[in-house]
């Protein structure tokens, strides 16, 4: 059941270097359709660099990245745009355009669709804003007037504007208080189910991992050190992985009621 | 993607299959309009492979619209994979109803104007407050010189004074050249070329030297003050200072203002000298007035009071520029956007205030007959 057709992302031999500093070397990673893949790793292991390489914000030094079976390295711009329309990216602080209201932000990707009249566009933007759990009157506010959690939700609404198949989330719960973070986890779980999303989730947050992820990929030593379910991770004998999943926070998150069986 | 069965006994049936999404909305809308009109119509989703939010929204919105028009639209045979999506969209449908815009009424306009005027008043009061703060901190520092941040003062003198010398000197030199050239062209037909010396001397010493210097410094230094203090404000460094019982006014504002008050008159003097040199060179080249003659004419024909009138304005300009710059820095919020906005507003305000003050000085000097 995990044939090549089910792979939405397939990375082979990825290499990223900044001058003499090697971030990734011989990195392999697969992501299946419909799964939530959590990517964890210590600071500086290049989680965000990996995300940026996949979505085309950074040209990798070497290696092959396939998304929906298409090689993304050396692809021409129109083909890339066609594939990019099938994914959405949510940046850490939402990365909303500060000169636009929330609704206008969500409308930005919709403007690229031909034959969509302004009224429909507006209604679809409002629908997405409602779906990420923002109140209707937030649509007319500017990003600066919102709290961090609301900006993240709005960033998610913009990422979901075109009903993407894959969503990339960069540290979705960083900077949120625990209540806001678990609310975001719940929201993501509902959306994944309702929209049938595949999610590439970069995070530090163990609670988010336990609440959302089907599989986890650990970045260390410039490559993907281990992949598997959270239970598999507990058996990995690597010092960082042990410290991460067996540390006090890891144990606490494992005991929490929103464990992997909670979906 | 669709087959229509108009003659079904239970009303027309629209069967959708394949993938339906954002780009098919127009077609879907037309298809749905085609089966409306009967008391009952059905949309069958049995063959649907993929449905996105936009299409689900359209189905539900049209269902509601048709209901109001007297047609019951049944959405039938929803495949299990599309069910959660349709439910999620249905649950959030109310949020998708757009609110009407509030039009701008005369009362709102009046309200806005009133707020602007009140803001302007508050701004002036704020500037006065900073002037008072500066005076208080300065007298404090004079009584207890050890509390004064001398290193910071020296640093800022170099930053706002020494480093501005090349640009100020070049600017004044060119102004002198331009004045001499223009004066020569205008005065030559009257045979009054020699008065070009007075023209240059009076205009540069009295007005242009110090005014243009102040404008350049306002652009250069007010923005630098705002950016430096503002970025510290953004990173909560100012709050950290307060918790460590360091007074930001002592540490940041006072040295900057004192440095400006010391260096701006010096920069003005530099501008005066280099403007006269530029004028003299151009007069020599254009009118054959030798530097020696220029010098004699300058000393005999120009009242030294002009220099005083010019330079006496310098400390006032310095205070204005410094206070506007420092205050704008303290007003920066916690976004990079507000830093940019305050920086450009500081420059505009400082230049404007300098020019207005210069006009007030002109009136004052005219009244007392200087």
Is the same domain home to B92 and B124? no
If DSSP codes are grouped into helix, strand and coil, which group holds residue A146?
Answer: coil
Query: How far is Cα B117 from Cα B126, in angstroms, rounded to an integer?
Result: 14
Residues B167 and B208 grouped into a single domain: yes
Taking CA atoms, B93 is separated from A153, B23, B112, in Å, by: 18, 20, 35
Determine the angle formed by the axes of helices A248-255 and A239-246, rounding to 10 degrees: 50
Do B82 and B148 have their domain in common? no
Q: Are residues B59 and B132 in the same domain?
A: no
Q: B26 and chain A: CB distance < 8 Å anywhere?
A: yes
Q: What total number of domains does chain B contain?
A: 2
Low-confidence ranges of chain A (pLDDT < 70): 1-5, 257-263
Nearest Cα to Cα of residue B350 among B271, B257, B248, B274? B257
Rounded to two decimals, the ipTM of the complex is 0.80
Q: How far is B61 from chain A (nearest CA, A)?
A: 10
Query: The whole model's pTM is what?
Result: 0.71
Q: Are residues B230 and B349 in the same domain?
A: yes
- B183 and B45 within one domain: no
Residue B49 within any structural domain of the chain? yes
**pLDDT digit string (tens) for B139-157?**
998 998 888 888 999 999 9
Q: Per the domain annotation, does B109 fall within a domain?
A: no
Residue B22's pLDDT is 83
Hey, which residues 73-112 in chain B have their CB within 8 Å of chain A? 81, 84-85, 87-89, 92-99
For an interface test with A, which of B92, B334, B335, B336 has the most A Cβ atoms less than 10 Å from its Cβ?
A: B92
Query: So what's the pLDDT on residue A42?
Result: 84
Q: Do both B173 and B262 map to the same domain?
A: yes
A131 in B contact zone (CB under 8 Å) = yes
Q: Is B25 on the interface with A (CB under 8 A)?
A: yes
B91 and B140 housed in the same domain: no
* Chain A 85-104, residues with CB within 8 Å of chain B CB atoms: 98
Which of chain A's residues have a Cβ under 8 Å away from the Cβ of B93? 127, 130
Which pLDDT tens digit goes with each residue over B198-244? Answer: 999 999 999 999 999 999 999 999 999 999 999 999 988 999 988 98
Segments forming the whole domain that contains residue B257: 116-368
If asked whether residues B154 and B75 sit together in one domain, one would say: no
C-alpha span between A12 and A10 (Å, rounded): 7
Q: Are B39 and B68 in contact (CB under 8 A)?
A: no
- Among A residues 192-211, those touching chain B with beta carbons less than 8 Å apart: 193-196
CB–CB contact A127 B57 (8 Å): yes
Assess if residue B212 is contained within a domain.
yes
Domains in chain A, CATH or no CATH each: 35-62+81-256 (3.40.50.300)
- Give the phi and the psi of residue B132 in degrees, each rounded to 5: -60, -45
pLDDT at A117: 86
Contact list in B for residue A137 (CB cut-off 8 A) is 99
B300 to chain A, any CB pair closer than 8 A? The answer is no
* Cβ pair A195:B88 closer than 8 A: yes
B177 found inside a domain = yes
The CATH number linked to B89 is 3.30.750.24
Answer whether B249 touches A (CB < 8 Å): no
Are B12 and B44 members of one domain? yes
Residues B8 and B91 reside in one and the same domain:
yes
Structural domain contains residue B106: no
Any domain includes B102: no
Alpha helices, DSSP H only, in chain B? 25-35, 53-68, 83-91, 106-143, 150-156, 165-187, 196-202, 209-217, 223-234, 237-243, 248, 254-287, 291-301, 305-311, 314-331, 336-368
For residues B289 and B202, state if they share a domain: yes
Contact list, A116 vs chain B (CB under 8 Å): 22, 25
Per the CB < 8 Å rule, is A127 touching B92? Answer: yes
The answer, for B293 touching chain A at a CB cutoff of 8 Å, is no
Q: Which residues of chain B have pLDDT under 50?
A: none
Q: Within a domain: residue B293?
A: yes
Q: Let me know: does B200 contact B297? Beta carbons within 8 Å.
A: no
Cβ neighbours of residue B219 closer than 8 Å, sequence gap 6 or more:
B347, B350, B351
> Per the domain annotation, does B121 fall within a domain?
yes
Q: Output the pLDDT for position B112.
A: 92
């Amino acid at each position: 059941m995990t044939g090549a057709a089910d792979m939405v992302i397939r990375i082979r031999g990825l290499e990223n270097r900044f001058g003499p500093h090697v971030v990734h070397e011989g990195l392999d990673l697969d992501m299946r359709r419909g799964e939530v893949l959590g990517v964890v790793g210590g600071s500086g292991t290049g989680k965000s660099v990996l995300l940026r390489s996949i979505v085309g914000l950074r040209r990798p030094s070497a290696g092959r990245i396939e998304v929906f079976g298409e090689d993304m390295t050396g692809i021409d711009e129109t083909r890339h745009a066609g594939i990019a329309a099938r994914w959405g990216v949510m940046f850490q602080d939402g990365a909303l355009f500060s000169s636009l209201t929330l609704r206008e932000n969500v409308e930005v990707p919709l403007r690229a669709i031909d034959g969509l009249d302004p009224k429909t566009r507006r209604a679809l933007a409002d629908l997405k804003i409602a779906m990420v759990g923002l109140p209707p009157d937030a649509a007319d506010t500017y990003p600066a007037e919102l709290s961090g959690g609301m900006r993240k939700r709005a960033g998610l609404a913009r990422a979901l504007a075109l009903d993407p198949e894959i969503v990339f989330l960069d540290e979705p719960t960083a900077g949120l208080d625990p209540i806001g973070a678990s609310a975001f986890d719940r929201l993501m779980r509902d959306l994944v189910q309702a929209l049938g999303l595949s999610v590439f989730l970069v995070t530090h947050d163990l609670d988010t991992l336990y609440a959302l992820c089907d599989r986890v990929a650990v970045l260390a030593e410039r490559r993907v050190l281990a992949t598997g379910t959270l239970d598999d991770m507990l058996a990995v004998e690597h010092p960082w992985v042990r410290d991460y999943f067996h540390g006090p926070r890891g144990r606490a998150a494992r005991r929490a009621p929103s464990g992997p069986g909670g979906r | 993607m669709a087959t229509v069965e108009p003659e079904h006994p239970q009303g027309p049936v629209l069967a959708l299959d394949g993938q339906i999404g954002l780009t098919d909305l127009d077609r879907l809308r037309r298809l749905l309009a085609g089966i409306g009109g009967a008391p009952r119509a059905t949309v069958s989703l049995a063959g649907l492979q993929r449905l996105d939010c936009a299409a689900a929204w359209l189905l539900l919105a049209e269902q509601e619209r048709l209901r109001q028009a007297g047609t019951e639209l049944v959405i039938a045979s929803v495949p299990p994979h599309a069910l959660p999506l349709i439910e999620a969209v249905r649950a959030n449908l109310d949020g998708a109803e757009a609110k009407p815009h509030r039009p701008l009424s005369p009362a709102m306009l009046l309200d806005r104007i009133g707020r602007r005027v009140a803001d302007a008043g508050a701004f002036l009061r704020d500037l006065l407050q900073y002037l008072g703060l500066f005076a208080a901190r300065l007298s404090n520092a004079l009584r207890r010189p050890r509390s004064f941040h001398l290193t910071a003062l020296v640093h800022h003198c170099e930053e706002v004074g020494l480093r501005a010398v090349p640009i100020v000197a070049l600017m004044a030199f060119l102004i002198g050249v331009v004045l001499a050239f223009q004066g020569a062209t205008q005065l030559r037909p009257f045979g009054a070329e020699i008065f070009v010396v007075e023209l240059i001397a009076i205009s540069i010493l009295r007005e242009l030297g110090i005014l243009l210097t102040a404008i350049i410094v306002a652009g250069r230094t007010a923005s630098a003050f705002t950016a430096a203090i503002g970025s510290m404000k953004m990173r909560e460094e100012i709050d950290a200072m307060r918790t460590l019982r360091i007074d930001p006014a002592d540490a940041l504002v006072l040295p900057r203002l004192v440095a400006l008050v010391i260096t701006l008159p010096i920069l003005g003097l530099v501008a005066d000298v280099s403007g006269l040199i530029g004028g003299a060179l151009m007069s020599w080249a254009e009118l054959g007035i030798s530097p020696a003659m220029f010098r004699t004419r300058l000393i005999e024909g120009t009242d030294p009071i002009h220099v005083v009138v010019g330079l006496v304005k310098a400390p006032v300009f310095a205070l204005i520029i410094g206070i506007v710059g420092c205050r704008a820095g303290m007003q920066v919020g916690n976004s990079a956007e507000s830093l940019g906005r305050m920086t450009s507003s500081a420059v505009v305000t400082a230049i404007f205030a300098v020019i207005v003050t210069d006009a007030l000085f002109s009136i004052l000097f005219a009244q007392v007959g200087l």
